[in-house]
Chains A and B, each alone.
Chain A
Amino acid sequence: MPGVLVFAELADGGLASISKELFSAGRPLAQALGEPLCTFIPAEKGGEVAKEAGALGADRVYVAEHPLLREPHPDYHLIALERAVQQVRPSVVLLGKTPLGINVGPRLAFRLGVGVAQDVVALKIEGDALIAERPVYGGNAMARVALREKPFVATVRPKAFEPLDPTPGRTAPVQAIPVAIEPAAVKVKVLERKKVEATGIRLEDARVVVGGGRGLGGPEPFQQLEELARLLGGAVGASRAVCDAGWLPYQYQIGLTGKTITADLYIAVAISGASQHMAGVSTVKNIVAINKDADAPIFQEARFGVVGDWKKVLPAFTDEVRKLLQQ
């Protein structure tokens, strides 16, 4: 019976998008193994989310409720997941490549003495192994790896799988998993959370993103990017070079070690298109690049390109966009 166990995360009171994507990733594995698709929901209150998981395709839902599971504290969640794995004894454990998942997934695996495939974009069962594909060398290459000892543990890159649509009325049996968390035994103590207040549309959710790179030469030109983003109802992002230079805070960074955007349109201005940057825009169908170097790698992934100096291209482009939008 065991199963494929999806470690669920919550966002805005419901299942996080990545967790829905994990159901899509896990379903074919469960089918190949002839085992149920299960989910584990560690939360302060998991009831409503348990129903949502059933509608999204989970065959069995396990819920651990504890007040300490309200915040995404890796150690508390690791205790909860370890407990769930002891009980369910799954063949596969899937987590998101999220701040929580990249802490909890590997540590669970090492505790169990097994390996973990990190940041995977494709998964399948082949014989007695889990085969995973993962970008390596910053996305310049792909590796195909095999895990052969169960449970197979993998963290999955956000947006690598399309979330399934819920089936209204579909339900799954829900089982509570009691967890005891002894805060005194957890050495990692959060003293304070320093939140940066987000203004405007969230970069991750924006339909249009205007990204700026090192070629902008300083922080000032980002005002022009802001203006364009405002016109298009979008958000501004940046390359790591920009954040490392202190032109914008790190919350703006797009890429492998920054944010993954899901926009329909990404306008990259003076960004070379290093694979580590492009890792954050891999699901964007329409990339527009403005770069003075015709050989910049970004043009290999762009749908539309302008070879030119942004100082001249961008203002003319923005003015024309404004005109077109007024028509």
Chain B
Amino acid sequence: MPLTIVVTAKQVLDPETPPSALQIDPSRKRMVGPANVPPVVNGFDENAVEAALRIKDALGASNVKITVLSAGKSFVLDVIKKPLAMGADELVLVQDDACENLDAFQTARVLAAAIKSMGTVDLVLCGRQASDWDQAQVPLAIAEFLGLPCVHITRKVEVKDGTVVVERVVPDGAEVIQVPLPAVITVSNELGQPRYPTLRGIMASTRKQPIIRKLADLGLNPADLKPKVELLDLYIPVRQKKCEFISGDNDEEKGRNLARRLREAKLI
């Protein structure tokens, strides 16, 4: 039996979108970017995919199976298939209209139900947070709903003798932590750059079709998925700071004038 890893992934608005191009869609209470900028896989989720692939590299390709799992109303297939192109084995999409407005609690219920439906899962890897709602809740909720131990925000993940050994990022360094499998681990960017898909990976991924699930397939009724955290309003805050630009004939003089101005303002 190969080691079974599930990596959760979310399709999000590209966080590199310049703020001036961001707008709020009031009817959907969502932030939207320009129509020509495609969404991306949440960056920390790519770090989680990378962590899974490193485990696969260490244990041998045939000894590890990586399933990527996502829930949403609709997907841009070229985007959400990126983890397959990076080297993951399969993609499961819980695609349902009712997935549009789920909060973190209910998203985790959906993902936990999908993980349960897969049978034996040894390790669940998630990005530490999604760059749209910045909640950092779903992985912890998945762990609670599945009754699994959880280590949140790690930079290194290794599987050893039925356990997972991780390095948890803390403000003054890291903690080396061991947890028996199965477990839920969240991954942060300190893990290092996710690998780029290879041409072979991209070719292989075009042949793979995602496995589509509906909420009903998971025994979930949309009416039971009312948000625990109700989104009332979303707005772009106004920044009213007025910057005083320091002048000067050249950059050196601007630098000197800056020092004098800060002295005048009693800041240095």
Q: Which residues of A contact B (CB under 8 A)?
A: 72, 74-75, 99, 102-103, 106-107, 110-111, 114-119, 131, 134-138, 140-149, 187-196, 198, 208, 232, 240, 243-244, 250-251, 256-257, 259, 264-265, 275-276, 286, 288-290, 297, 299-309, 312-321, 323-325
A115 touches B171 (CB 8 A): no
23 contacts between A and B (CB under 8 A): A103-B140, A115-B105, A116-B137, A118-B134, A118-B137, A119-B135, A137-B132, A142-B234, A142-B235, A143-B233, A146-B230, A188-B179, A193-B174, A240-B189, A265-B268, A276-B15, A308-B251, A308-B254, A308-B255, A309-B251, A312-B250, A313-B252, A324-B263
B228 touches A147 (CB 8 A): yes
Total count of chain B residues near the partner, CB < 8 A: 81
Partner of B22, one of A115, A140, A314: A140
Task: Name the residue of chain A whose CB is nearest to the CB of B134.
Answer: A136
* Chain B residues whose CB sits within 8 angstroms of the CB of A143 once the complex forms: 133, 231, 233-234
A188 touches B229 (CB 8 A): no
Complex-state Cα separation, A119 to B260, whole angstroms: 38
Task: Name the residue of chain B whose CB is nearest to the CB of A243.
Answer: B190
| Secondary structure call for the B interface | mixed
B246 touches A306 (CB 8 A): yes
B31 touches A (CB below 8 Å) = yes
Partner of B259, one of A111, A149, A251, A321: A321
B236 touches A (CB below 8 Å) = yes
B193 touches A187 (CB 8 A): no
Asked, given contacts A141-B237, A188-B177, A194-B174, whether A317 binds B259 with beta carbons under 8 Å apart, the answer is yes
Complex-state Cα separation, A143 to B30, whole angstroms: 10
Complex-state Cα separation, A32 to B231, whole angstroms: 22
Complex-state Cα separation, A194 to B129, whole angstroms: 24
Among residues 150 to 175 in chain B, which have CB atoms less than 8 Å away from a CB atom of chain A? 150-153, 165, 167, 169-175
Complex-state Cα separation, A276 to B134, whole angstroms: 10
**Chain B min CB distance to A326 (Å):** 12
Complex-state Cα separation, A308 to B235, whole angstroms: 33
B207 touches A (CB below 8 Å) = no
B253 touches A187 (CB 8 A): no
**Chain B min CB distance to A260 (Å):** 10
Partner of A110, one of B145, B170, B261: B145
Partner of B173, one of A117, A136, A196: A196
A119 touches B243 (CB 8 A): no
Complex-state Cα separation, A195 to B103, whole angstroms: 36
Q: How many A-B residue contacts, CB cutoff 8 Å? A: 237
Q: Which residues of B contact A (CB under 8 A)?
A: 13, 15, 19, 22, 24, 31, 103-105, 108, 128-129, 131-137, 140-141, 143-145, 149-153, 165, 167, 169-180, 183, 188-190, 193, 227-237, 239, 241, 243-246, 250-256, 258-263, 265, 267-268
Task: Give 9 new A-B contacts, CB below 8 A, not counting A103-B140, A137-B134, A188-B149.
Answer: A106-B140, A118-B135, A137-B132, A193-B174, A194-B174, A257-B189, A290-B255, A320-B255, A320-B256
B259 touches A191 (CB 8 A): no
Complex-state Cα separation, A136 to B130, whole angstroms: 10
**Chain A min CB distance to B250 (Å):** 7
**Chain B min CB distance to A147 (Å):** 6
Asked, given contacts A148-B230, A288-B262, A324-B259, whether A307 binds B172 with beta carbons under 8 Å apart, the answer is no
Partner of A316, one of B19, B173, B253: B253
Partner of A304, one of B228, B239, B258: B258
B179 touches A232 (CB 8 A): no
* Chain B residues whose CB sits within 8 angstroms of the CB of A303 once the complex forms: 241, 243-244
* Chain A residues whose CB sits within 8 angstroms of the CB of B103 once the complex forms: 115
**Chain A min CB distance to B260 (Å):** 7
